[in-house]
A and B are shown apart, each in its own frame.
Chain A
């Protein structure tokens, strides 16, 4: 498969659907071109052998204070207790459509 064909038009449409994005035909072509260019660039990660490397998801996994790596995750769980949160009326004031209690949306299921 040639390098420029990493992402097909069908791939772009599938990913756009997963991401809830509507793309025009123009946008679709442009996005395919850009995604292929970026992924060609990303492909160089394949040069590295990472079979023995643990994935790193959070900075806390590698914290080095004063130059000494901290071997264990510095994970501290907070108490599971009720804490104050934003007032409903304040939050609902930002909503495009609300009955004051719930967010209102167009119908979910087509009949």
Chain B
């Protein structure tokens, strides 16, 4: 493989190097497998790897290239897949003991679309159990370490997906985002992470956490790579009743059009108390770059922002308590041995199989849905969810996209917040709003702290207007 293609490691770089015969998919795959062997013992991004499967995929691409056939969009590009997404016959633990040993009999639509586009699957990626967490410390298989500082968290819940790209162990990865689980780890690890509009990517084959919030999206080293992957995985799917029939544009085509004349909103609520001074400085510098590139920067207000975290934790846990009822030891996964009755088997299986954060959220969700509390908590949260969504609809009548910090701080230390759930939940304070409203967003690297920790800017856009946030992200990246 030519050194330029290795160094670039971009999707188009790899695809065209294979097409031109400068390298082979097999050689590219082996380079990434060697990196995993070298780096991952320190980082622990992968929960499972299958060398032979990846090499067999690579050989099929090399056969196409040898015949001179045109190569699909992701030909020979090494990917990792978050372990909450299914690939037929491969472990899918969701970071939980309750699914240890489970081999799903079907493949997630987004994963199948990657495979059809020629992607190579290196393995499945570590995450917080059932995608519940902001630090990856809730994985039943041990935490992921941030490649930029091994004593720090990579963010969560898609910590393995972000760390794998940051450490050069995959060119791109899939993650999932329910309250910030793609954007926040992208920010902590210095990579690009995309929250597509709700309905843009089919959720079929995603092990559900909170169905009205869950989304699948890509990580990449650059905005262009992330946009390319979204273009492949987006689109309607009969297997997900909430997936949209709107056509999928070519996101890469409009990428370089710049931000001249674009109106970009800066919501004051995202720069209030609790924002780390270094993060503020970095984001303000990023905003100035976009202004210099020709964007019109407008101060805006999203007045209900401070209610987003409590709203999110009521709605997400309520939905989780229902979704996780299916893990009962009957159809798949763990079953506690030697139970005398069905009821005892359910309880013992769930006690053995679920970790503390998952139990906490199931209990909270069950509580807020229970008789006497439904109106006070669940219905109230659904009402505030509409107010939060309307804040964005009003703002998007004035501006084309919104700029905020992705997270209030750079990556924190492993263990720093693990004993205080509310402090941990506040790591998602800038990301849960877009989750509740269903709009799209992307986190793009925007400088570093004095200690060298990455800082991400979050760019939020209208429903189904990913093209605009990618343009802004590209302008920031190349500024």
Contact = CB atoms under 8 A, between A and B. Distances in A.
A106 B339 contact: yes
A22 B351 contact: yes
A57 B383 CA distance: 9
A17 to B, nearest CB: 9
Contact of B105 (A16, A91, A103): A91
A61 B199 CA distance: 12
Contacts of A43: 310
A13 to B, nearest CB: 11
A20 B350 contact: yes
Interface string B320-363: 01000100111111110001111111111011001010011011
Contacts of B103: 93-94
A66 B328 CA distance: 44
B198 interface: yes
Interface residues of A, number: 62
A12 B341 contact: no
Nearest to B215: A59
B252 interface: no
Most chain B CB atoms below 10 A, which of A41, A46, A54, A108: A41
Interface in A56-99: 56-67, 69, 76, 78, 83, 86-87, 90-91, 93-97
Given A19-B321, A105-B345, A106-B342, A45 B310 contact: yes
Contacts of A14: 370
A3 interface: no
B370 A62 contact: no
B393 A69 contact: yes
B330 A59 contact: no
Nearest to A30: B356
A57 B310 contact: no
A106 B397 contact: no
Contacts, number: 190
Contact of B463 (A37, A63, A90): A63
Contacts of A60: 199, 242
A39 B422 CA distance: 10
A21 interface: yes
A68 to B, nearest CB: 9
Contacts of A103: 330-331
Given A42-B313, A94-B332, A54 B386 contact: yes
Nearest to A108: B342
B341 A64 contact: no
Contact of A35 (B304, B354, B360, B392): B360
Contacts of B364: 35, 38-39
Nearest to B365: A19
Contacts of A20: 325, 328, 343, 346-347, 350
B335 A96 contact: yes
A37 B363 contact: no
Interface string A8-36: 00011011101111110001001100110
A43 to B, nearest CB: 8
Interface in B369-405: 370, 377, 379-387, 389-390, 392-393, 396-397
Contacts of A86: 105-106
Contact of B384 (A19, A22, A45, A65): A45
Most chain A CB atoms below 10 A, which of B199, B335, B383, B390: B383
Contacts of A46: 380
Contact of A50 (B347, B383, B396): B383
B314 interface: yes
B141 interface: no
B313 A59 contact: no
A59 B386 contact: no
Contacts of B422: 37-38, 41
B377 A42 contact: yes
A23 B350 CA distance: 10
Given A93-B105, A106-B341, A56 B354 contact: no
Interface string B79-107: 00000000000000000000000111110
B382 A45 contact: no
Interface string B427-438: 000000000011
17 contacts: A7-B367, A15-B363, A20-B328, A34-B421, A38-B421, A38-B422, A43-B310, A45-B311, A50-B383, A62-B386, A69-B393, A78-B238, A86-B106, A96-B332, A105-B342, A106-B339, A110-B340
Interface of B: 102-106, 198-199, 212, 238, 241-242, 245-246, 304, 306-307, 309-311, 313-314, 321, 325, 328-335, 339-348, 350-351, 354, 356, 359-360, 362-364, 366-367, 370, 377, 379-387, 389-390, 392-393, 396-397, 421-422, 425, 437-438, 462-465
Interface of A: 7, 11-12, 14-16, 18-23, 27, 30-31, 34-35, 37-39, 41-46, 48, 50, 53-67, 69, 76, 78, 83, 86-87, 90-91, 93-97, 103, 105-108, 110
Given A39-B364, A55-B379, A56-B383, 14 more contacts: A18-B366, A19-B363, A21-B347, A38-B364, A41-B310, A41-B422, A45-B307, A48-B307, A55-B383, A59-B437, A61-B386, A64-B396, A93-B103, A94-B333
